[in-house]
A and B are shown apart, each in its own frame.
Chain A
Amino acid sequence: MGELTEKQKAQALKTAKSLSNDKLRDMYTKMNHVRAFEDKVAYFFSRGMVHGTTHLYSGEEATAIGALANLDDEDLMTSTHRGHGHTIGKGIDLKKMMAELLGKESGYCRGKGGSMHIADLTRGNLGANGIVGGGIPIATGAGITLKLRNEGRVVVCFFGDGALNEGTFHESVNLASIWDLPVIYICENNQYGMSFSAKKSMNVDDLSVRAKAYGIPGVTVDGNDIFAVYEAVKKAKKHALKTGPYFIVSETYRFMGHSKSDANKYRSKEEIAEWKDRDPIPRMRAILVETGQFTDSELDAIEEQCKQDIEEAVKFAENSADPSVDSILDDVFAPSN
């Protein structure tokens, strides 16, 4: 069950070999950063050490990291309420990210945003979003800026299967289509919108057929195969720059509940176990070893380093000050001349 198909494996090996060791190291590191970050956050929540809620990305790493491996800092991205993977994938200071989760002054949003609102405009990260489908028009508008400037940049717009039934998806993809905007729309089908399954909420099996309604290409990829995602987005990026928007459905699964309140009553242990069998991290690891680009001990060292990086981020966050209440009124409005 957990194995890649023969064809998929052959392609994964080919893709891995086409990438430099530095690139692969970066991708594998980010995969493990996400996992370690989420493990730590889950631990904090289970202990009641942070307030609010959070939505963990564990299990979906290949989608964010595989997609964003195609982007440069100048390219743009919008993310979702389940945004830690995208945020790390786009490139982030883990310390400032963890500090934001803990609501600290040194966090990305100075403690005002938390898990659902991390943004880093210096790296083209236009922000996570607390509203399902909320980022789709924003990505589309960013696409207008890029189209008008014609600088060869793209926007990647992430959203979940739940957002496919929001009006913003329809309005935005249509707009991008008629204006040929350089936007890659990536639906992470993690099979559930909170508790309601994608199968129950839509009467189509292959969600990528929705692209037809907008006259743009649509494909479905195994979202737990980082190389498949990488190749799909690589192709999509070329198309976006030359022709216009592209729609990708990345089939994946969240290992954890929707949020911290989730008792997982709507899905079976067997189903969760099946998907854990397709964990994208061991899958990527197997390919890297098989091509001979990395040894097991090298990959062990990367994993260990990632855990340490997260520990250091925690240390930084814990040692950071809370924001002063004096800052509460800051930044409602930007200064204007």
Chain B
Amino acid sequence: MREITYAEAIREAMSEEMRRDESVFFFGEDIGIYGGAFGVSVGMIDEFGAERVRDTPISEAAIIGAAAGAAVSGSRPIAEIQFSDFISIGMDQLGNQAAKMRYMFGGHAEVPMVVRAPAGSGTGAAAQHSQSQEAWYCHIPGLKVVIPSTPYDAKGLLKTSIRDNNPVVFLEQKLLYRKKGEVPEEEYTIPLGKADIKREGSDLTIVTWGRMVSMVLEVADSLKEQFSIEVLDPRTLVPLDRDAIVNSARKTGHVLVVHEAVQTGGYGGEIVATVADSDAFYYLDAPVKRLGGLDIPIPYNPELERNAVPTPEKIEQAIRDLMA
């Protein structure tokens, strides 16, 4: 099968949906001729023109709010926020407006919009350009939250997100943009709310998402002689495939959650709770553990930055502790 990068997969998803549906348009900062800060949208303006691929001023509140307004009036906008950290500037429009419209209006509105934004550390961009804030969005009823870990997932999930009739926060992973993976030429979509078992195993379940998935897979492979590790990627945190997590926990009896976001208040707590208050609890052989980022802003120095989030060494240690 052909291989393309994560960034190319996202571009293909947007372009295919824009060809398929006239009501889809795309806007954000430097997405036109520049092609986006990470080159995701290179060439799109040539195909679709400046009306449907709109360069915006640096106005995140207006971008997110305008997406909501365009969506509620019949368009299907894709808004790019250059770094997910900047979503906070438009947070009222996302959390108080887009997310709540349908419920507040008694079901008389649809808000089909996608906010795409790159998240995560590892680029040396320091504290305001490196965060993983997925838990913020998961805490707002009315938002769907998607975090793809492979080019295949990115394409299939983005196409579904664009077709979804609700606001979707689509968190891309900066360090994955240039990673290649198999993506079929023919059309496919991936439903939201369906976890993917990235690696089957019988001793331990690791629930992880985003860029941590590939790191966890490498550690799992390196320990294959000692532990049979199952790696479960929920892919979408809202809706969350709780059944898949519970079933895997029941099977292995050991659960570790690994995520890049700071541990305190992170979504890992929700995963742990999902296991703890299900009947999988009775199958557990050890407490359910979390390994998240440290409770600090992301530091600049490369070695400090690397250690602010889970590393292969820390993941291995967490596995050994849990299985001891």
Residue of A nearest to B165 (CB): A334
**Does A117 lie within 8 Å of B104, measured CB to CB?**
yes
Q: A126's closest neighbor in chain B, by CB?
A: B72
Which B residues lie within 8 Å of A112 (CB)?
103-106
CA distance A136 to B141 in the complex (A): 23
A130-B96, A134-B96, A134-B97 as given contacts; A141 in contact with B106, CB under 8 Å: no
Known contacts being A171-B59, A332-B102, is A121 close to B69, with CB within 8 Å? no
| Chain B hits for A89, CB < 8 A | none
A167-196 near B? 1/0 per residue, CB < 8 Å: 110011011001100000000000000000
Question: Does residue B74 face the partner (Cβ distance < 8 Å to A)?
Answer: yes
User: Which of B25, B92, B106 touches A110 (beta carbons < 8 Å)?
Assistant: B106
Please name the residue on chain A nearest to B107 by beta carbon: A331
Interfacial residues of chain A within 191-215, with CB under 8 A of chain B in the complex: none
User: B165 contacts A145, CB within 8 Å?
Assistant: no
Q: How far is the CA of A171 from the CA of B105 in the complex (A)?
A: 26
Which B residues are CB-close (under 8 A) to A69? none
Considering only residues 231-259 of chain B, those with a C-beta below 8 Å from chain A are none
A142 within 8 A of B: yes
Q: A137-B64, A167-B61 are contacts. A334–B110 as well, Cβ < 8 Å?
A: yes
Q: Report Cα–Cα, A139/B51, bound state, in Å.
A: 18
Are A175 and B57 in touch, CB under 8 angstroms?
yes
Determine if B102 and A138 form an interchain contact, defined as CB atoms under 8 angstroms apart: no
A141 and B61 in contact, given A108-B105, A331-B106 (Cβ under 8 angstroms): no
CB distance from A325 to the nearest CB of B (A): 15
Distance of A145 Cα from B61 Cα, bound (Å): 18
Which of B25, B62, B74, B104 is close to A175, meaning CB atoms less than 8 Å apart? B62
The distance from the CB of B193 to the nearest CB of chain A, in whole angstroms, is 11
Which A residues are CB-close (under 8 A) to B142? 332-333
**What's the minimum C-beta distance from A164 to chain B, rounded to whole angstroms?**
15
Chain B residues within 8 Å of A111, by CB: 106
Q: Mark B45-76, 1 if CB is under 8 A from A, else 0.
A: 00000011010110111101111111111110
- Asked whether B68 lies within 8 Å of A137 as measured between CB atoms, the reply is yes
Residues of A within 8 A of B102 (CB): 331-334
Q: Tell me whether A138 and B104 are in contact (CB under 8 A).
A: no
How many whole Å from A183's CB to the nearest CB in chain B? 10
Q: Is B107 a contact of A141 with CB atoms below 8 Å? A: no
Assess whether A109 is interfacial by the CB under 8 Å rule.
Answer: yes
Please tell me if the beta carbons of B75 and A148 are within 8 angstroms of each other in the complex: yes
**Residues of B bordering A, CB below 8 Å:** 25, 27, 51-52, 54, 56-57, 59-62, 64-75, 77, 92-93, 96-97, 101-112, 141-142, 144, 163-166
Shortest Cβ-Cβ A-B pairs, 4 listed: A137-B65, A141-B69, A141-B66, A109-B106
